């Protein structure tokens, strides 16, 4: 493929300039007003360096991971005083970010968190299921979460979707299996047996050297699950997130948490239409569907476009007349591409994030 720095005029030559409009039609974030997310970073035991990294990703990258405008806004604090009923009432989702030893919360703060979880959304990451920190135990929250750390192994392992939940919204845009190097928890008893729990992902213990105790028989080892409550509350937990690199570099982990936040907030994805009348070079981040980008031109007009990597390598180029749709397959999962081109309505350049 040639360089993206070459001029599109050669593609444009000979095309009769009729008026047209380009739209990139892809699954993306909700067009509704952004909802509010609160990330609690406090801990009462082991301090994960990944806390700061994960919060930065959630705050600065996830809101526009799949959309042109933020799906949500994010506030964050390590102060447990922020976990009051009045403060939490401002948010649709509470993210519990590596909060080792949550039993260290006051009685009032514990009650506020449990009450919030009955009617709104909670997304919990990694050591939020570790109640063995200096904060001590918290039986009611252990029951709510559905698991309590009882040993762990740091290893590269193979994760798999649970077949019964493969089509759940939290699994949208994710491969059926993938490998990840992180610290994996054993919980003493199988979280699958916790009342109301539905397992989204398991880890294959045969894919690694599993050394931790207190785990589940038959290699049924959940690492991500959900619960739904009668009064509308939704809960999600993932064991991923011990290492800084998980949220920082792994698109699968980011997409999983993004999907979980959207699901917990009951925010439904919609289709996004982007017009080339936007200024060229505007920083838009859109999502392709399972590594294939769909580019659709509306009725009338001539068009030309190309798809390039951020480094400038061209991977596709197309041109044509009138209403037409193009599918650009085999894009690399987790990568960002630039789609640029011309119609008689003007030039355009858009960023596309591939899940």
Same domain, residue pair 183 and 322: no
- The CATH number linked to 339 is 2.60.40
In tens, the pLDDT along 171-223 reads: 887 888 888 888 888 887 889 999 999 999 999 888 887 776 655 555 788 99
Give the gyration radius of the chain's Cα atoms. Answer: 23
In the numeric block, which tokens belong to residue 76? Answer: 């964050």
Please give the tally of structural domains in the chain. Answer: 2
Highest mean pLDDT among 21-30, 212-221, 250-259, 301-310: 250-259
Highest mean pLDDT among 24-33, 296-305, 323-332: 323-332
The answer to whether residue 226 scores a pLDDT higher than 90 is: yes
Let me know if residue 17 belongs to a domain: yes
276 burial type by CB count under 10 A (0-12 exposed, 13-18 middle, 19+ buried): buried
Q: What percent of the chain has pLDDT over 90?
A: 37
| Mean pLDDT lowest among 76-80, 132-136, 192-196 | 132-136
Highest mean pLDDT among 105-114, 207-216, 236-245, 286-295: 105-114
Let me know if residue 2 belongs to a domain: no
What is the band of 77 on the pLDDT scale with cuts at 50, 70, 90? very high
The answer to whether residue 64 scores a pLDDT higher than 70 is: yes
Same domain, residue pair 60 and 20: no
pLDDT at 22: 36
Sheet containing 22-23: order of strands: 22-23, 293-297, 324-328
Same domain, residue pair 54 and 196: yes
In the numeric block, which tokens belong to residue 299? Answer: 């009725």
Query: What span, in angstroms and rounded, lies between the C-alpha atoms of 111 and 85?
Result: 9
Render 220-283 in DSSP notation, one character per residue: --EEEEEEE-TTS-EEEEES--SSHHHHHH-HHHHHHHHHHHHHHTTPPPEEE---TTSPTT--
In the numeric block, which tokens belong to residue 93? Answer: 């989702």
Is pTM, for the whole model, over 0.75?
Answer: no
Residue 70 near residue 34 (C-beta atoms within 8 A): yes
* Number of C-beta neighbours around residue 271 at 10 A: 11
Same domain, residue pair 175 and 319: no
Let me know if residue 207 belongs to a domain: yes
Residue 60 near residue 23 (C-beta atoms within 8 A): no
Same domain, residue pair 211 and 309: no
**Could you say which of 214, 229, 264 is where a domain stops?**
264
Same domain, residue pair 18 and 42: no
What is the band of 26 on the pLDDT scale with cuts at 50, 70, 90? very low
- The CATH number linked to 90 is 3.40.50.880
The answer to whether residue 240 scores a pLDDT higher than 60 is: yes
Let me know if residue 78 belongs to a domain: yes
Q: What angle do CA 125, 160, 239 make, to 5 degrees?
A: 15
Let me know if residue 3 belongs to a domain: no
SS3 label, residue 285:
strand
Residue showing tokens 């990568």:
335
Let me know if residue 1 belongs to a domain: no
**Could you say which of 264, 282, 309 is where a domain stops?**
264
Same domain, residue pair 167 and 281: no
The answer to whether residue 326 scores a pLDDT higher than 50 is: yes
Query: What span, in angstroms and rounded, lies between the C-alpha atoms of 130 and 212?
Result: 14
| Mean pLDDT lowest among 41-55, 95-109, 283-297, 324-338 | 283-297
Same domain, residue pair 41 and 148: yes
Same domain, residue pair 64 and 210: yes
| Mean pLDDT lowest among 129-133, 273-277, 305-309 | 273-277
The answer to whether residue 321 scores a pLDDT higher than 60 is: yes
Tell me the average pLDDT of the chain: 79
Report strand pairing: 93-97 vs 35-40. parallel
Query: What span, in angstroms and rounded, lies between the C-alpha atoms of 66 and 69?
Result: 9
Same domain, residue pair 131 and 184: yes
Q: What percent of the chain has pLDDT over 70?
A: 75
Let me know if residue 168 belongs to a domain: yes
Query: What span, in angstroms and rounded, lies between the C-alpha atoms of 296 and 99?
Result: 45
Let me know if residue 204 belongs to a domain: yes
Same domain, residue pair 138 and 282: no
| Mean pLDDT lowest among 2-16, 29-43, 297-311 | 2-16
Residue showing tokens 């400038």:
312
Range of the domain at 318: 9-25+273-353
Residue 265 near residue 121 (C-beta atoms within 8 A): yes
Same domain, residue pair 101 and 203: yes
Residue showing tokens 């397959």:
329
**Could you say which of 264, 288, 304 is where a domain stops?**
264
In tens, the pLDDT along 27-52 reads: 333 346 899 999 999 998 878 888 99
């Amino acid at each position: 493929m040639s360089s993206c720095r070459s001029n599109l005029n050669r593609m444009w030559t000979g095309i009769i300039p009729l008026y047209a409009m380009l739209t990139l039609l892809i699954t993306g974030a909700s067009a509704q007003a952004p909802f509010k997310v609160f990330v609690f970073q406090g801990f009462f035991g082991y301090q994960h360096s990944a806390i700061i990294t994960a919060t930065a990703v959630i705050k600065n990258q996830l809101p526009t991971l799949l959309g042109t405008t933020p799906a949500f806004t994010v506030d964050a604090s390590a102060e447990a005083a922020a976990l009051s009923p009045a403060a939490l009432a401002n948010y649709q989702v509470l993210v519990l970010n590596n909060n080792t030893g949550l039993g260290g919360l006051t009685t009032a703060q514990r009650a506020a968190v449990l009450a919030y979880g009955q009617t709104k959304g909670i997304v919990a990451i990694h050591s939020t299921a570790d109640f063995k920190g200096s904060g001590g135990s918290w039986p009611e929250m252990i029951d709510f979460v559905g698991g309590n750390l009882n040993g762990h192994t740091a290893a590269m392992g193979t994760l798999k979707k649970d077949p019964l939940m493969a089509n759940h919204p939290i699994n949208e845009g994710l491969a059926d299996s993938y490998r990840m190097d992180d610290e994996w928890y054993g919980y003493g008893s199988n979280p699958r047996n916790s009342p109301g729990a539905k397992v989204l992902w398991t880890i294959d213990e045969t894919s690694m050297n599993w050394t931790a105790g207190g785990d589940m028989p038959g290699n049924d080892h959940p690492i991500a699950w959900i619960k739904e409550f009668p009064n509308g509350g939704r809960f999600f937990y993932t064991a991923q997130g011990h290492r800084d690199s998980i949220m920082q570099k792994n698109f699968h982990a980011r997409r999983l948490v993004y999907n979980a936040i959207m699901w917990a907030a009951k925010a439904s994805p919609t289709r996004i239409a982007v017009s080339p009348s936007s200024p060229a070079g505007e920083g838009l981040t859109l999502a392709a569907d399972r590594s294939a980008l769909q580019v659709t031109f509306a009725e009338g007009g001539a068009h030309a476009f190309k798809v390039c990597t951020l480094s400038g390598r061209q991977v596709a180029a197309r041109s044509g007349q009138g209403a037409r749709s193009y599918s650009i397959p085999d894009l690399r999962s987790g990568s960002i591409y630039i789609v640029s081109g011309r119609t008689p309505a003007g030039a355009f350049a858009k960023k596309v994030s591939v899940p």
